[in-house]
Structure 1
Amino acid sequence: MPPLRWPRRPPPRPPRPPLVLRLGNPRRRINIGLIGMTFVLSIFSGRLVQMQGLDSKVYEAAAVGQRTHTEKIPAKRGSITDVNGHGLAVTVEARELSIDPSKILPQDRPKWTKLLAQQLGKTEQEISAKLARTNTRYQRLATDVDPVVASRLLQARVPALSATKTYRRLYPAGDLAGTLIGFVGDDGDGLGGMEQAKNKLLAGRDGEQRVETGRDGLRIPMTSSQRTTPVNGQDVRLTIDRDIQWAAQESITGQVKKAGADSGTVIVMDVRSAQIIAMANAPELDLNNWRKAPAASYINKAAADVFEPGSTNKVITAAAAIEAGEVTPDTVFQVPDRIKCADQVLRDAHAHKSESMTFRQAVAESSNVATIMAARKVGSERLYRMLKAFGFGSTPGGGVPSAEAGLLPDYKSWSGSQNCTVAYGQGVSVTALQMASVYQTIANGGVKVEPQIIAGTTDTSGRFVPAPAGKQTKVVSATTAKEITTMLESAVSAEGTGLLAAIPGYRVAGKTGTANRYDAKLGRYEGYTASFVGFAPADQPRLVVLSVLQNPKNGHFGGQLAAPVFKDVMTFAIKSKKIPPTGSTAPPVRMRAGQ
């Protein structure tokens, strides 16, 4: 048996040689690195050249823009004064307070809320809501803050509280001539009356200052600033006399309340210059609380409200008839108490038998029928032209804010009855200002002067510059004006309707008016307009006073309600102006046909 053979082992492998890291060429590696670095640096260098070279001014301007802030420097608004320089609307220094809510710690918020609310006169809820807006860095807390209050809060070290100098508008006289003066809104612009009409003159021109500030809002020292100096507004001096204005408002306010009227108006005017010495309304607007008043109370009714004048308009019919030579004050009419006009029957205020009346008596007793008879002698065209000459249908000049033109239809469009009713003041509409101007014309010898409300202004140096005199227009002759004056003087006598307007020691000429009142809301005639307008002294006229009451409930005749207001205001005005009685007596006139 052959011997067993074991398999032969393979011979051992020889050991592998160790791995050898073959390094590249160092010079090539360095060159590649340098090329990469050069490329990156070239990009940075190009960008740097662009920023510091080509676009340097752009980035410089952007940086300055981020640091620069423009602050408005408010101009001081000019004052509105009465004719003697008493302030009716004045501007005083104030502060605007703002805060950065993000700087108020939550645990300190209740403390600062309570303090700010107490000092600023606001509710804690309002202040708390502002301080809770921590996502903003600016919250205005209040404007028109008294500088003393602002200083007190700054001394209390309220965090991030800042104060900016500004101004606030004050009205020392409250509601005195409120709707005439108007008021200023939160943006500093006038919103009514003279404040709006003369806003550009009063407001001046704000300045500004450009400063550079840091992230904390503080100015960066040693940086440049640009400043444009504000130009303060100019003062406006009115023709209004504060004392007479007060007397007029007191009288008409009391009578409106007594008569249960909707409203009332008084105008006092200088006969020679047509300057408006008083322009009062009742109720009047309290300028210190105008935000709480309804918008309807912003209207200056003396210049803007139109109404049918009634019998005060009869002087124009008389002027047209006398100027045309158709009648004289002594012309006698046979006057019934009613007259047919087209399809209407028109009546006198009181029933009476047919009687002979002089034209003077007809005006004194305010006969509608006799006035229609005189108007028929004149004709509608000539009456229309006289109404136009006295200013009906035209907006008065002279700078009275919100003045309206009224309504005077062309005579060609008058209805059959309107040809008669216009003669005694129905079918036309006027303002109180227009009617006062009519009597100024008669009192001034037939010369109409454009009503004036502005006495003058101050220039940039503070020098007073008087306003130009009102435009003068000859309407009727001096003879006609004198004859009408004697008729109006009779109307204030014991035989006229205006006896309650008589002033002891003075000769007074005037006329009552009682007209049906058109109510635009109801779309029909409802209630009455009671009025009286006249002048004194009758022989040397100095002042015109007109009083009007709208929709009185306790009585409705002008001689009953408006004449006493005329007397009160005229008495105060002539004493205030130191106008003495002339000492003369009214000449004897033929009042009745049988005399």
Structure 2
Amino acid sequence: MNTRKAVQHRALWTLLFTAIFMVILVVRLVIIQVADASDLQSYARNIHVHKIILPAARGKIVDRNGSVLAMDVPTYQIVAAPKYVNHPAETAKILARYLPFSSTLLRKVLSDNSWYALLDRSVPASVAQKIQALNLTGISVVQSTGQEYPNGTLASQVIGMVGANGKGLAGIEYEDNSILSGHPGYWVVQTDAAGNPLPQWQEAYKAPQPGDTVQLTIDANIEADAQKWLKWGVKRAHALNGTVIVLNPHTGSVLALANWPNFNPNNYYSATPLQMTDYAVQDPVPPGSIFKPVTASAGLGLGLFTPNSMFDTVGYKIVDGVRIDDWNPVGWGWITLTRGLEVSSDQVFMDVALKVGVSEMYHYIKMFGFDHPSNVGLPGDSSGVWIPEQNVNAVDLATIGFGQGMAVTPMQMITADSTIPNHGTMMQPHIVKAILSPSGKVLKTFKPRVESRPDSVQVAKEIEHMMVLEATQGTGVPAQVPGYVIGGKTGTAQKIVNGRTSNTLFVSSYMGFGPVPHPKFIMLVMINRPIGKLFYGDQVSAPVWKHIASYMFKYWKIKPYAGPVNGSQPFVKTK
């Protein structure tokens, strides 16, 4: 009897414990399926569902004729699910053979125990195929895109480059990044136990929208020739660097913008700051005598002088007790303003500036656009360096008259001087011609825009006449192209070092336009810090100008028309 009661007692306790366990189990199931359901579902999605960003194909950069300067090419992303990588050190060592990262860095990433890590944003197909063939647990290959520059160093500072994050870092790639970059898409997929995407379990997909094409005003053929001869000129003069700008004076379109040294955007990691600097817009320098047409514009425009006004040159001028030497220490005696520009007399243009006065001189400086950046459409566009008008004394004004005592960018300078061959009207310089859709449809065009009218037509013609004579029988003779009439101006400026004018460091320039009487271009060749016997603008920059101009005349099929005197009797005569 006691035994029976003991069995019943044990059965009762067993039933009770079973009931309690079932209640606990039911409660737990309720908690899991109801109370914690949302959190657990989210946890499961974090493990097995991933949103993969699909980069948009970047827009192209093309020249004015449609030649491709930068384009999007297929590349691949290397993606990891570190939580599923069984042997991080071994896997890192294998991947280091194919990716531009050390095994130490890769091991650190793969040991993170996270669900997702982007190892490399852009690898070529050949590398992607090799990694795919390894079948590494937790490592996946996802197709993507990347930017390529088929012409290497051509116009590299203008075009710029794209960083590892897919964003433009310099040049047009940076300035117009929002136009070029497009809009990324995404791919939400489930993954297997190893973290590999399962396309058949795709949950959501949004296609990326490719970026638009930026068409430049640059002509790649002229750009290549300018770059070739600039390199020759810089090396010939043992100089630090240089730039060439070719501008259509009637529209403001930049036809070429070359810098030397330059770099290859496909391998920008190895470039130096000097190679990546766009000297044309980012590095203000004293312009020297190529500024003299601006001073002449002020003197003629205010009616204070005529092309035949006479000046007694003795090789120097005393201003407020300070002797300022001309580049020619003995002068030329009595000469006209026209002859003063031909031989580039500093004293003549000191006299002109002092007669014009500070207020009117600064008025013309502003009219010629020197009080603001060029706004050509490139990053780092500098506004130059000027003495505040209220602080300018007579010595400052005299030196400004012949292009010293301030610093301007080459782009500002060529824009100002382009007023002369455009009959007194200065156009806004621009380097972007149009924005095109991925299919080639024109979305936006950039039409020529007048910036200011610093000169009258008459004054512009008078100065054009002076510059033709400068090129035919003055300091610019080395820039002459046989059979064509050109106008031009040499420049040799002393650099400012630690606030003082250097007697050994120069900026050598030649500014010229042609063919006269209907110029199709104006070109500035500026070479910085030539070393040795060759340092004057006519020695260093004029020959470079001549070579590039010769190419353009042939390229545009402009036939020679000038006689043996090459236009010393110009078509445009002063009244």
TM-score by length of 2: 0.89
Q: State the match for 2:244 in structure 1.
A: 266
CA contact (8 A) 1:518 1:525 kept: no
Q: State the match for 1:91 in structure 2.
A: 72
Q: State the match for 2:146 in structure 1.
A: 168
Q: State the match for 1:357 in structure 2.
A: 335
Q: State the match for 2:24 in structure 1.
A: 43
Measured in 1, the distance between the counterparts of 2:99 and 2:194 equals 29
Once the two structures are superposed, the pairs formed by residues 553-592 of structure 1 within 5 Å of their partners are: 553-554=531-532, 555-581=534-560, 586=567, 588=569
Q: 1:250 aligns with which of 191, 203, 228?
A: 228
Please identify, of 424-433 and 216-225, the stretch whose mean Cα deviation from structure 2 is larger.
216-225
Measured in 1, the distance between the counterparts of 2:200 and 2:285 equals 68
Distance change >3 Å, CA 132–CA 483, structure 1 → 2: closer
Once the two structures are superposed, the pairs formed by residues 495-514 of structure 1 within 5 Å of their partners are: 496-514=474-492
Q: Does residue 80 of structure 1 match 2:66?
A: no
Distance change >3 Å, CA 134–CA 146, structure 1 → 2: closer
Q: Does residue 406 of structure 1 match 2:384?
A: yes
Query: How far did 1:577 drift?
Result: 2.3
Query: How far did 1:228 drift?
Result: 1.5
CA contact (8 A) 2:167 2:177 kept: yes
The residue identity in structure 1 corresponding to 2:308 is D
Q: State the match for 2:573 in structure 1.
A: none
Query: How far did 1:97 drift?
Result: 3.7
SS at match of 1:417: helix
Query: How far did 1:377 drift?
Result: 2.2
Once the two structures are superposed, the pairs formed by residues 320-469 of structure 1 within 5 Å of their partners are: 320-352=298-330, 355-459=333-437, 461-469=439-447
The residue identity in structure 2 corresponding to 1:398 is V
Q: State the match for 2:285 in structure 1.
A: 307
Once the two structures are superposed, the pairs formed by residues 11-160 of structure 1 within 5 Å of their partners are: 34-97=15-78, 120=98, 126=102, 130=106, 135=111, 144-151=122-129, 154-155=132-133
Q: State the match for 1:551 in structure 2.
A: 529
Q: State the match for 1:187 in structure 2.
A: 165
Measured in 1, the distance between the counterparts of 2:499 and 2:264 equals 26
Distance change >3 Å, CA 47–CA 500, structure 1 → 2: same
The residue identity in structure 1 corresponding to 2:431 is I
Q: State the match for 1:15 in structure 2.
A: none
Please identify, of 404-413 and 358-367, the stretch whose mean Cα deviation from structure 2 is larger.
404-413
Measured in 1, the distance between the counterparts of 2:191 and 2:496 equals 65
CA contact (8 A) 1:500 1:563 kept: yes
Measured in 1, the distance between the counterparts of 2:78 and 2:351 equals 72
Q: 2:260 aligns with which of 279, 282, 287?
A: 282
CA contact (8 A) 2:247 2:522 kept: yes
Please identify, of 172-181 and 158-167, the stretch whose mean Cα deviation from structure 2 is larger.
158-167
The residue identity in structure 2 corresponding to 1:424 is F
The residue identity in structure 2 corresponding to 1:165 is Q
Measured in 2, the distance between the counterparts of 1:206 and 1:540 equals 49
CA contact (8 A) 1:396 1:451 kept: yes
Measured in 1, the distance between the counterparts of 2:137 and 2:62 equals 41
Measured in 1, the distance between the counterparts of 2:41 and 2:212 equals 42
Distance change >3 Å, CA 121–CA 566, structure 1 → 2: same
Please identify, of 212-221 and 223-232, the stretch whose mean Cα deviation from structure 2 is larger.
212-221
SS at match of 2:549: helix
Measured in 1, the distance between the counterparts of 2:111 and 2:284 equals 55
Measured in 2, the distance between the counterparts of 1:128 and 1:569 equals 51
Query: How far did 1:504 drift?
Result: 1.3
SS at match of 1:255: helix
SS at match of 1:456: strand
Query: How far did 1:365 drift?
Result: 0.8
Query: How far did 1:433 drift?
Result: 0.6
CA contact (8 A) 1:319 1:484 kept: yes
Cα offsets for 1:303-333 (capped at 9, x unmatched): 1111111111110110001010111101112
Instruction: Give the unaligned 5+ runs of structure 2.
Output: 571-575
CA contact (8 A) 1:502 1:508 kept: yes
Query: How far did 1:65 drift?
Result: 3.5
Measured in 1, the distance between the counterparts of 2:201 and 2:145 equals 28
The residue identity in structure 1 corresponding to 2:32 is M
Instruction: Give the unaligned 5+ runs of structure 1.
Output: 1-19, 590-595
Distance change >3 Å, CA 80–CA 351, structure 1 → 2: same
Measured in 2, the distance between the counterparts of 1:583 and 1:134 equals 73
CA contact (8 A) 2:54 2:186 kept: yes
Measured in 2, the distance between the counterparts of 1:522 and 1:361 equals 30
Distance change >3 Å, CA 56–CA 160, structure 1 → 2: closer
SS at match of 1:371: helix
RMSD of equivalent CA atoms: 3.2
Please identify, of 93-102 and 407-416, the stretch whose mean Cα deviation from structure 2 is larger.
93-102
Q: Does residue 491 of structure 1 match 2:457?
A: no
Cα offsets for 1:485-521 (capped at 9, x unmatched): 0011111122x11110111111111101111111359
Cα offsets for 1:435-476 (capped at 9, x unmatched): 111121111111111101011111365412353224302121
Cα offsets for 1:55-96 (capped at 9, x unmatched): 434433433343211111121111111111112112210223
TM-score by length of 1: 0.86
CA contact (8 A) 1:540 1:582 kept: no
Measured in 1, the distance between the counterparts of 2:142 and 2:234 equals 46
Please identify, of 575-584 and 366-375, the stretch whose mean Cα deviation from structure 2 is larger.
575-584
The residue identity in structure 1 corresponding to 2:372 is S
Query: How far did 1:213 drift?
Result: 2.1
CA contact (8 A) 1:537 1:582 kept: no
CA contact (8 A) 2:57 2:146 kept: no
Measured in 1, the distance between the counterparts of 2:340 and 2:356 equals 16
Distance change >3 Å, CA 518–CA 61, structure 1 → 2: same
Cα offsets for 1:114-167 (capped at 9, x unmatched): 8x777x4879xx569858998568887755333244335545766765321112
User: How many residue pairs are counted as aligned between the two chains?
Assistant: 563
Distance change >3 Å, CA 216–CA 254, structure 1 → 2: same
Measured in 1, the distance between the counterparts of 2:139 and 2:47 equals 22
SS at match of 2:418: helix
The residue identity in structure 2 corresponding to 1:174 is G
Q: 2:456 aligns with which of 437, 453, 477?
A: 477
Measured in 2, the distance between the counterparts of 1:22 and 1:204 equals 86
Measured in 1, the distance between the counterparts of 2:515 and 2:199 equals 72
The residue identity in structure 1 corresponding to 2:173 is E
CA contact (8 A) 2:187 2:202 kept: no
Measured in 1, the distance between the counterparts of 2:300 and 2:419 equals 15
Q: Percent identity?
A: 28
